[in-house]
Structure 1
Amino acid sequence: MAGCNVNSREGGMLNDRIDPRITRTTQAFEQAIVDLAAQRPVSRITVAELADRAGVTRATFYNRYRTPLDLLIQVLHADLERGHRLEEERRAQGGHSARELLRLATTEVADHVERFGAVYRHSLADPADSGVYEALVRHFGDYALAFMNRGHHPGLPEANRQVIAQFMAHGFAGAIRAWLNDPSVTKDDMVDASVACAPAWWAVDAVATDTSDRP
């Protein structure tokens, strides 16, 4: 993907203690899958061409991953997690209201989608490539569930949280789809609409709860 070097991002997937050769191989795979997925849907990328672009063997690929989709999802997930860590740092530092944090977090996700815009657009255009979108929904669902379980949120309804999380995840992913599918919709439009549609309890400062006695 032009302009998106997955190896130079702060807070990457790799541990500094890993053998440098393993690190280089992983970085080569990550950059190769992003470059190729920016050109066409990941469902049309073969392991042979991915390994060739990364400069390694197919056996090396299969020692690490099952499919090109698995590798791509790992790369996208790692980049999303970097944004979530930044959100947690802001939350810990204080000085931001819940609504401000919501907008900042939504903007971080929008920035992520923009960085990998070609990848996401290809995945949405090909019915056989739904794995990327489904992974995005799962990620948002896990994030929403973790958010609800952190502290007490005044106004949070007494309903099944798994269902609430899925409702919100599909809604947010749908907003991203609408943005990517319509050139007239801007990134700011997507952020504004998503923040405006967020439930009131999400934008209310949470009350910390003591979980020290919980298993």
Structure 2
Amino acid sequence: MSSASERTDPRITRTITALQRAAVELASQRPVSRITVAELAGRAGVTRATFYNRYSAPLDPLVEALYADLETGHRLEDRRRAEGYPGPELLRLAVAEVADHVERFAGVYRHALDDPADRGVYDALVRHFNDYALTFLARATGAGLPAPGLPGADQQVIAQFLAHGFTGAIKAWLSDPSITKDDLVDAAVACAPAWWAAAGASAPPKTVDQGRR
């Protein structure tokens, strides 16, 4: 996760942005596991030493870029929650935002899907959804919300179940051309537990920390 000084130093910001953009461009052409640091640094216009000052592998800036885009959707969800959107509508819109994200980075996700050596992209997606689910559950239980059926089971297990299930649904969508984005959204909403929508509508906004990778 970026420090405060990194976020305010325009040179560092430009370097990070360039490396993230280069990672997305290259990973949209072929699996990120086949991208070299030298190639990525060259595309970004920086030295290998500059790359290694922050990252260890091309997957790292790629995941950072993916998380940043997903986080934009979470902020939109928080605004909608604050505006009083009903739980079921919030759920559908949140799932649709993720589907839109996958479409924006379709090349990245499809290349990762086809290469067994490239599982890091989907592992990162699972971690993202796991962190989001844990934050959601902590926010809901901490607020003492009147959410029908809010589970009392282990939250780590619940979060992993939801994260792997949603990531698996995305893989199924991308693997089968006959499955549409609307099919994905419909299926994910149908599989979501009833307590998710009930808790989500009234939970106070809180952005998930995407610094963990």
TM-score, normalised relative to structure 1: 0.86
The match for 2:67 is 77
Whether the aligned pair in 2 keeps the contact of 1:97 and 1:205 (CA below 8 Å) is no
Aligned partner (choices 59, 64, 77) of residue 87 of structure 1: 77
In 1, Cα distance between equivalents of 2:74 and 2:5: 18
Give the 5 Å matches for 1:8-47. 18-47=8-37
Whether the aligned pair in 2 keeps the contact of 1:37 and 1:122 (CA below 8 Å) is yes
Aligned partner (choices 39, 50, 54) of residue 49 of structure 1: 39
Question: What letter is aligned with 1:56?
Answer: V
What are structure 2's unaligned runs of at least 5 residues? 205-213
Q: RMSD value over aligned CA atoms?
A: 1.9
After TM superposition, which residue ranges in structure 1, 4 or more long, deviate above 6 angstroms?
14-17
Give the 5 Å matches for 1:1-215. 18-94=8-84, 96-151=85-140, 152=145, 153-205=147-199
Q: Percent identity?
A: 70
Question: What letter is aligned with 1:135?
Answer: A
In 1, Cα distance between equivalents of 2:6 and 2:122: 31
In 1, Cα distance between equivalents of 2:59 and 2:101: 18
Which one has more relative contact order, counting CA pairs under 8 Å at least 6 apart?
2
The match for 2:209 is none
In 2, Cα distance between equivalents of 1:73 and 1:30: 8
In 2, Cα distance between equivalents of 1:208 and 1:187: 27
Whether the aligned pair in 2 keeps the contact of 1:39 and 1:118 (CA below 8 Å) is yes
SS for the counterpart of 2:179 is coil
The match for 2:207 is none
In 1, Cα distance between equivalents of 2:109 and 2:18: 21
More helix by share: 2
Q: CA deviation at 1:161?
A: 0.9
In 2, Cα distance between equivalents of 1:26 and 1:170: 29
Distance 1:59 1:16, change over 3 A: closer
Question: What letter is aligned with 1:66?
Answer: S
Whether the aligned pair in 1 keeps the contact of 2:20 and 2:65 (CA below 8 Å) is yes
Whether the aligned pair in 1 keeps the contact of 2:6 and 2:12 (CA below 8 Å) is no
Aligned length: 195
